[in-house]
Structure 1
């Protein structure tokens, strides 16, 4: 595949632009390995001090968990929405036999880093990997182009889940599947956004958006996707993430409040799956 011609930069919310631009969240030690996710920790011993190997293993495990949920066909064409540095794209190529993987991200700085990180693969296998700039709500790719769409810990940033769902339906081939994992509120009880903003800086400054997991499930169904399923994987995420954070932050500091928000049932981590019907 040839690199797409440069496109006008999609509009970004200021907190997203700052966090993934000059701040470069991927360079932070808490995201060792460049995956930028909280990790999936079953099988990792949390009773001992965690190291960078454990951290990278947890982030890879989250991708594998989501990729397994897609039940990919042989030689699948795969789109990742919110690909960041493209580490998950590379994992899908290496371990899941994808024919081609496209990483989509709204931030040009992240795409530059992704192309640098995977320069050898892009040179050696240009038909199997590409990175494209675009928003989740306005994907600049063809209708029915992909067998599967995934998004790993990016949907909490998407301003319009309805538009994202419609675009997902559009780019999926009939019979294709989508799997999204991220953190959402478990319900739409009044006060959830305010409660989370009080506990967590990322909600207070607008980086993360507090929405119920049902909002994404309902958006998928309204877009025409079927077999919509939501499943909590919080027990496999929050204790490990909190144990990892404890290397740098004390119990009473705001990053440790992710676990407290989960324990108070204000927030949880989910996998949401759906499919495009074969006759549509």
Structure 2
């Protein structure tokens, strides 16, 4: 585990910060929120839930799906999948043992009530401690920007999916592979300067999925529904020009964008 990840999701515990209200840790999908009105935690939580809904919808889950979330954090999105999408099982996996511990504590009642449907495990995106072909869908919400090896993540995702299964990943990537993109982002944003986030073009991830054997790889920009709302929420604490507000600036300068990337493992369950 890289030091910046260990600190941010361990002692720093982003899930407890007010900017990530409700225990979610994502920038939010703000399409259904009126940004012209004052924002409260109600709208903030909805934005984060709606990002999960957008990804789960993009995954095209069959009824009764077995779903894996890679980088589950506190597990709030796992519960959205379980309660709203009729999943048979949901597995939340996170590299940080403290996050797994917190997730188990936050959902202790649900884990007791339905132990066969929800579980949390520790594991890295590049080396998942999970069985081959155990899932109908793999999702990941705002975690891939931390993964050191997108190719290994793609290969592991292919391995744990059943034939016919689908992957849906949302995160922020550079818009292209122009020279100097990492340096540009490091000058604008502390998360890149400090090594928490890794600057890579979205096409590199799409290509990694194709090389791993996936078909129907699709890249969708959802930046217009992420960056303005996220910046509006951040304005409660930070002035324009301070580093957290520079996410919107990086988007407006066409350096960074927010994407949903989907792909399918070829075949049908009968092929297993």
TM-score normalised by L of structure 1: 0.95
**Correspondence 1:14 to 2:3:** yes
Distance (whole Å) between structure 2 residues aligned to residue 171 and residue 115 of structure 1 = 23
Distance (whole Å) between structure 2 residues aligned to residue 71 and residue 19 of structure 1 = 32
| 1:162-241 equivalence runs, <5 A | 162-241=151-230
Q: Please report how far the alpha carbon of residue 173 of structure 1 lies from its aligned counterpart in structure 2 after TM superposition.
A: 0.1
Number of the residue aligned with 1:35: 24
Q: Please report how far the alpha carbon of residue 48 of structure 1 lies from its aligned counterpart in structure 2 after TM superposition.
A: 1.8
Which of residues 47, 51, 55 is equivalent to 1:62?
Answer: 51
Q: Please report how far the alpha carbon of residue 254 of structure 1 lies from its aligned counterpart in structure 2 after TM superposition.
A: 0.7
Number of the residue aligned with 2:34: 45
| CA shift digits 1:111-145 (9 cap, x unpaired) | 11000000011000000000000000000000000
**Correspondence 1:157 to 2:146:** yes
Which of residues 108, 121, 125 is equivalent to 1:136?
Answer: 125
| CA shift digits 1:7-30 (9 cap, x unpaired) | xxxxx0000000000110111100
| CA shift digits 1:35-80 (9 cap, x unpaired) | 1000000121111221100000000000000000011111000000
Number of the residue aligned with 1:5: none
Number of the residue aligned with 2:251: 262
**Correspondence 1:252 to 2:241:** yes
| 1:110-125 equivalence runs, <5 A | 110-125=99-114
The list of structure 1 runs, each at least 4 consecutive aligned residues, that deviate by more than 6 angstroms after superposition, is none
Number of the residue aligned with 2:69: 80
Distance (whole Å) between structure 1 residues aligned to residue 250 and residue 96 of structure 2 = 29
Unpaired segments ≥5 residues, structure 1? 1-11
Q: Please report how far the alpha carbon of residue 106 of structure 1 lies from its aligned counterpart in structure 2 after TM superposition.
A: 0.2
| CA shift digits 1:133-191 (9 cap, x unpaired) | 00000000000000000000000000000000000000000000000000000110000
Number of the residue aligned with 1:94: 83
| CA shift digits 1:237-273 (9 cap, x unpaired) | 0000000000000002110000000000000000000
Unpaired segments ≥5 residues, structure 2? none
What is the number of residues matched between the two proteins? 269
TM-score normalised by L of structure 2: 0.98
Distance (whole Å) between structure 2 residues aligned to residue 253 and residue 46 of structure 1 = 21
Q: 1:101 is paired with a residue of what secondary structure? A: strand
Number of the residue aligned with 1:6: none
